Amino acid sequence: MNIFRFAGDMTHLISILILLLKIYATKSCAGISLKTQELYALVFLTRYLDLFTDYVSLYNTVMKIVFIASSLAIVWCMRRHPLVRRSYDKDLDTFRHQYVVLACFVLALLLNEKFTIQEVFWAFSIYLEAVAILPQLVLLQRSGNVDNLTGQYVLFLGAYRGLYIINWIYRYFTEDHFTRWIACVSGLVQTGLYADFFYYYYLSWKTNTKLKLPA
């Protein structure tokens, strides 16, 4: 475990806690895409199938449980919590994410480390994570303004993936035969998706104006 990966996991955890805090404190989920949260819950459920079969470390196991539990908690809140669900922008969150799920699954069947259930679902979760933010970015574009907590949420999420890429570069140079092509390429695509958001976030921070995404 190197510092980049640990920092990546921490920023990932922070992004989820920011979201939980925002929903719990304001009892509102305005501006949050339920579809993105459902995709993330699916990412964790399909990636951590080995939760009970392969023990890597206590840290890994605890973090996997935290990620699964928190993502399901967010989805449950947005769907079931009487107060929160009222503030969900159903007619703005219209990204047809089922096609994305299907495309990722087909890709995972074709491109995987080994053609086993666990590896196919692992590759599926890697591809899905790369595009899971799309409904959220579309929702931000639609709603025009980005309230600061949602903006920070996306910022930490992008930082997590960016740190993971540095972690893979570090491991590539320090460990022999370390290759994670599937995760690396997919992680690069994912970070690229955030790049435009980062650009507008930086502009709004620099010009000290409210973050506006071009419609």
Q: Which is nearer to another protein, 60 or 141 (CB)?
A: 60
Left, alpha or beta for 199 (phi > 0: left; psi -120 to 50: alpha)? alpha
Judged by the rule CB under 8 A, the positions of this chain that interact with another protein are: 5, 9, 12, 47, 50, 54, 56-57, 60, 63-64, 67, 113-114, 122, 164, 167, 183
Q: Which is nearer to another protein, 13 or 30 (CB)?
A: 13
> Min. distance of Cβ 67 from another protein in angstroms?
7
Burial class (CB in 10 A: 0-12, 13-18, 19+), 72: middle
Gap between the terminal Cα atoms of the chain: 41
> Min. distance of Cβ 89 from another protein in angstroms?
30
Q: Which is nearer to another protein, 66 or 92 (CB)?
A: 66
Strand partners, 212: 145
Q: Which is nearer to another protein, 134 or 184 (CB)?
A: 184
> Min. distance of Cβ 206 from another protein in angstroms?
33
What CA dihedral angle connects 51, 43, 84 and 158, to 10 degrees? 110
> Min. distance of Cβ 150 from another protein in angstroms?
23
How many CB atoms neighbour CB 10 within 10 A? 15
